[in-house]
Amino acid sequence: MTLSLVRPADVVLEIDLAAIRANFQNVSTLVGPQVRVAAVVKSDAYGLGLVNIARTLIDAGCDLLFVANLDEALLLRSSFSGIAIAVFRDEFDRFGTWYQSHDLIPVVNNCKELHAVSTAGEAQTYFLNVETGFSRFGLSVGDLQHKYLLRTLERYRPSIVLSHLACGECIWHAANVLQRDRFRAVYDLLKPTRGSLAASAGVWLGKSYHFDMVRVGSALYGISKAGAQTNPLQPVAKLRARILDMRNVPAGEAVGYGATFRTVRASRVAIVGIGYKHGLPWSCANKIFVRLAGYSAPLIGRISMEYMTIDITDVPAGRCSPGTFVELLTEDFTVNDLAAAAGVSPQEVLTRLGAGCTRKYLNLSSPSAAFTASRRRRR
Ligand SMILES: *Cc1c(COP(=O)(O)O)cnc(C)c1O
């Protein structure tokens, strides 16, 4: 028999699904009705939970979801039968039957897969990835100059050709223009196949980057604002963690591993039950503040595996005690800010926090979602 203790979580990542719906609408409005908005839900929806996030996006009107691999695709398919699911990379030449039996769309990344698609039967829907300056996956522009390959592509036409920008976050970067022009040439070559170049950052590079479809992940989760004067995206995640213990520390004492912080006054400190195992970046030690009962308290010393320490000397004694939650991510201090303080990418912070914390969902369904669903059923 296994024993388990039931108690409330010490670390809670709160995910606002209404904000995700709003971000999807926002991106849709930005690109206009001619451009399809596909949602990227790879890596467990950037740590936020594949099935819940997918359901939210489908309710918001999304009809195509991208996942990283077949494992994620199969999990998604077991929850949603009607929706189109595309797999960024997972060996169609080995696993073709899985794609076929579960109605999944492969992204073809090399000639081996293209050959497998062309021998799988006329009806095999697939997307084609073309390499234009990222040097990751995809057929090279050179590959497309081979006549036999072009003939294959004409006979077994991909429904979408895609490529990925390396420098979309830098609106002025010359690499964007180079990749767009290379992609434009491929797009013209493969007409009437539709095209998709932009991920989240590319949405803000302007119309000439949108082609027929954008593939957005980060923007939906509130973590891309590249090029935007005012950030139209809503933050999605809030993070809080519980104070476990408090103590008085005399002036001149060290706090935490490496003694990277030393008190300059007699201090009151609180030990909070969140550490790098929960996804809090180690590199934000001594750099951020948490909110506590309307006060601001600095994180002091290194972050350890399960804990961090904050200075609560200036917080009135009655306002905090063991059991009180402190807020690490709020509307005013977002994943973007934490990532900037830690010197890492916001995507990295979000996926790690999502994997390491207890997730709690707000606004699970909206009245408009229920309305859309009932309308869909009636049609
Ligand atoms: C992850 C990924 C995306 C989504 O990127 P975001 O910047 O998070 O929107 C789109 N396309 C490809 C190929 C990706 O790997």
182, pLDDT greater than 90: yes
- What band does 145 get if pLDDT is binned at 50, 70 and 90? confident
- pTM of the predicted model, to two decimals? 0.93
Residue-wise DSSP of 109-155: -SHHHHHHHHTS-TT---EEEEESSS-SSSEETTGGG-HHHHHHHHH
pLDDT score for 378:
37
What tokens appear for 346 in the block? 């916001």
Nearest to 132 by CA among 198, 76, 193: 198
With beta carbons less than 8 A apart as the criterion, state whether 223 and 335 touch: yes
pLDDT score for 364:
87
Domains of the chain: 16-222 (3.20.20.10), 237-333 (2.40.37.10)
Three-state DSSP at 252 gives coil
pLDDT score for 367:
54
Average pLDDT value for residue range 273-291: 97
Q: How many angstroms is it from 130 CA to the middle of ligand 1?
A: 14
Three-state DSSP at 271 gives strand
Of 258-262, 284-288, 372-376, the one with minimum mean pLDDT is 372-376
pLDDT score for 265:
98
Q: How many angstroms is it from 152 CA to the middle of ligand 1?
A: 27
Average pLDDT value for residue range 225-232: 68
**Which residue numbers are catalytic?**
42, 257
Residues with CB under 6 A from ligand 1: 40, 42, 88, 164, 199-201, 215-219, 224
374, pLDDT greater than 50: no
Q: How many angstroms is it from 40 CA to the middle of ligand 1?
A: 6
Question: What percent of the chain clears pLDDT 70, i.e. is strictly above it?
Answer: 94
122, pLDDT greater than 50: yes
Alpha carbon 32 to chain centroid distance?
22
12, pLDDT greater than 90: yes
Among 20, 134, 164, name the best residue to mutate to test ligand 1's pocket (greatest count of ligand atoms within 8 A of Cβ). Answer: 164
Nearest to 16 by CA among 373, 228, 340, 331: 331
Question: Looking at ligand 1, which atom is closest to the CA of residue 168?
Answer: 7
Residue 18 CB coordination number (10 Å): 17
